[in-house]
Structure 1
Amino acid sequence: MKESARVAFNYIKANHRKFGIKSEFFSQNGIHIHVPEGAVPKDGPSAGIALTSAIISALTEQTIPRDIGMTGEITLHGHVEPIGGLKEKAIAAHRSELKTIIIPKANEKDIEDIPQEIRQKLKIVLVEEYEKV
């Protein structure tokens, strides 16, 4: 999780103009990311695009719709890399009443593992680059 946060922050810093963030922000401020729910394990890089989106949302005051979920590792160049456990994440998204999930294009083959009744209720958006998120 720490590595995902570092990569997200550095990606945003390197691409701040694309997101309408002034470069002065980074020299004048720091960012602290707190992910509550201590009993829930949070390892692996799959929170990368979600963390990136949350930071951009906080810095630009642009809200993310509550019915959208996302999972995917992000690289320093903005590539969205595959994740594990897509079926379980899709089931959790459905239980949380999300309408849309954004996932790595590289996980397209894993969509068939998601139960059909859940696939029919979720809009699944495939992305290769963060700019498409």
Structure 2
Amino acid sequence: INAICRKVARKVVGVGKQYSEEITAGRVTEHLGIPRYRPSMLEEHNQIGIATGLAWTEAGGELLFTESTMMPGKGRLTLTGQLGDVMQESAKAAMSYVRSRAEQFGIKKDFHHHTDIHVHVPEGAIPKDGPSAGITLATALVSNLASVPTRRDVAMTGEITLRGKVLPIGGLKEKVLAAHRAGVTTIILPKDNEKDLADIPKAVLDVLELHLVESMDEVLKIALVSPLTALLPSQDQPDSQISNSDDQVTH
């Protein structure tokens, strides 16, 4: 708005006080140039090896797609997409977690002896860092190795430990608003971030299905199109979900 006002003011100085101009939506590009920010949108189909994460940027929240593919090799893990040190460590932690649980996920326990894994986060010209993509990375890896598609309408954010625990993250409000803006209907969040939901408009929370989780087992039950055999519902690990009808947490 300031930029537009300055340009109009210059015209007033040059033409005179009689100058007037109506700024419509169609004329915004004329004054400010082409949009610099392109909001991300959901994938069109459920796919194997692709998980939708959430990131915080200076422009607000953003969807963060994580891709995983495999090929014959000797266990090499390749990370691309201009990932920072912390995010690379998250990817390695996610891989170690998946390897430690491979058989329980229906994955051959020695897969790393003859398989190379490549993890890529698109928009490689943009630097990315932080631990909050941990559960997204792990989900993409499990989906890829177990050949089970992920749900396109699910987005997630959370740090992962080697034991598969889900730890809290920052920028929750911006991330949830970005997911809502992109058409996401289900969001997986760390249980310890429940208090931060108070910062999000009720109108947004009312149309979202929010799952507050403490472990990767819970994440995978929600994010994958079909459940892994070892993760079929049990009474040992209940899922915490925000019920939008009565605004209460149910267990």
- TM-score of the aligned structures, taking structure 1 as reference length: 0.95
Tell whether 2:137 aligns with 1:24.
no
More helix by share: 1
C-alpha separation between the residues in 1 aligned to 2:107 and 2:172?
32
Q: Which of 34, 58, 77 does residue 120 from structure 2 map onto? A: 34
Partner of 1:121: 207
Give SS of 1:30's match.
Answer: strand
User: Where does structure 1 differ by over 6 angstroms across 4 or more consecutive aligned residues?
Assistant: none
The Cα shift of 1:43 comes to: 1.2
Q: Deviations over 1:52-92 (max 9, x none)?
A: 00111111111111000010000001110000000010011
Structure 2: which amino acid aligns with 1:118?
V
C-alpha separation between the residues in 2 aligned to 1:111 and 1:40?
28
Partner of 1:94: 180
Tell whether 2:191 aligns with 1:105.
yes
C-alpha separation between the residues in 2 aligned to 1:118 and 1:38?
31
Map 1:8-87 to 2 at 5 A.
Answer: 8-87=94-173
- TM-score of the aligned structures, taking structure 2 as reference length: 0.52
- Provide structure 2 residue ranges, at least 5 long, that are not aligned to the other structure: 1-86, 220-251
C-alpha separation between the residues in 2 aligned to 1:13 and 1:72?
19
The Cα shift of 1:24 comes to: 2.2
C-alpha separation between the residues in 2 aligned to 1:76 and 1:34?
21
Report the count of equivalent residues.
133
More strand by share: 2
Structure 2: which amino acid aligns with 1:50?
T
The Cα shift of 1:38 comes to: 2.8
Relative to structure 1, is the Cα distance of residues 58 and 70 closer, same or farther in structure 2, using a 3 angstrom cutoff?
Answer: same
Partner of 2:41: none
C-alpha separation between the residues in 1 aligned to 2:128 and 2:182?
18
Higher relative contact order (CA closer than 8 Å, sequence separation 6+): 1
Residue identity over aligned pairs, in percent, reads: 54
